Amino acid sequence: SQRCDRMVDVGRRKFMSGAGLAAAGVAVTSVVPGPQAKAAPAAARVDYPSNRLANVADLKVNEPLNVNYPDADAPGVLLKLGRKVPGGVGADSDVVGFSTTCPHKGFPLSYNAGDRTMNCPGHYSRFDCEAGGQQVWGQATQNLPQYVLHVDAKGDIYAEGLDELLYGRLSNVL
Ligand code: FES
């Protein structure tokens, strides 16, 4: 009697909760899709520092000058190539700058004045300094980051950006 009532009670509660779930299920499946939320635009713009790296008078044709950009932990070079090249600035459009950290696994690159390439001792990737740092051989999967340069009236050379992501970074500017 009393025990029996309790069992009925439990049964009713179970039924109710089952009905509740079913109702919830109906509610979920009957949701009408509204206008899609717009994804927030990615923070694609990086604010690069404008850093004076050297003066054109400091450069000799085909002799790399060691610099750092966009910060002290990012080694690179300036090169005066003696003929107009992609990304080249100055009176002869021949001054370029590159990171000297291999985009494959971060080994330091060295300049080969013979064919004007940056060369990696790690796995032998090669990058053409006369072709915007294009990879010409090896295991890297990215061209060499090239500086965006600007030369002012006094011949001072400023770096103001990079065209590829530096090795090991999630953002070129930390
Ligand atoms: Fe330069 Fe691998 S680190 S090719």
pLDDT tens string 66-107: 999 999 999 999 999 999 999 999 999 999 999 999 999 999
Strand partners, 118: 111, 127
Q: Which residue has the higher pLDDT, 40 or 163?
A: 163
Distance between CA atoms of residues 88 and 141, nearest Å = 23
pLDDT (0 to 100) of residue 2: 56
CA-nearest residue, atom 2 of ligand 1: 123
Give the predicted TM-score (pTM) of the model.
0.75
Q: CB neighbours of 69 closer than 8 A, spacing ≥ 6?
A: 51, 53, 76, 97, 147, 159, 162
Q: How confident is the model at residue 20 (pLDDT cuts 50, 70, 90)?
A: very low
Q: Which residue has the higher pLDDT, 172 or 34?
A: 172
The verdict on the CB of residue 123 being under 6 Å from ligand 1 is yes
Please state the φ and ψ torsions of residue 7, each to the nearest 5 degrees: -65, -40
Both structure tokens of 28: 């979920």
Distance between CA atoms of residues 166 and 174, nearest Å = 11
* Ligand 1 binding pocket mutation candidate from 98, 101, 102, 135 (most atoms within 8 A of CB): 102
pLDDT (0 to 100) of residue 25: 47
pLDDT (0 to 100) of residue 45: 73
Distance between CA atoms of residues 23 and 17, nearest Å = 10
User: What mean pLDDT comes out for the span 53-71?
Assistant: 98
pLDDT tens string 106-159: 999 999 999 999 999 999 999 999 999 999 999 999 999 999 999 999 999 999
User: What's the order of all strands across the beta sheet hosting 147-151?
Assistant: 51-55, 156-162, 147-151
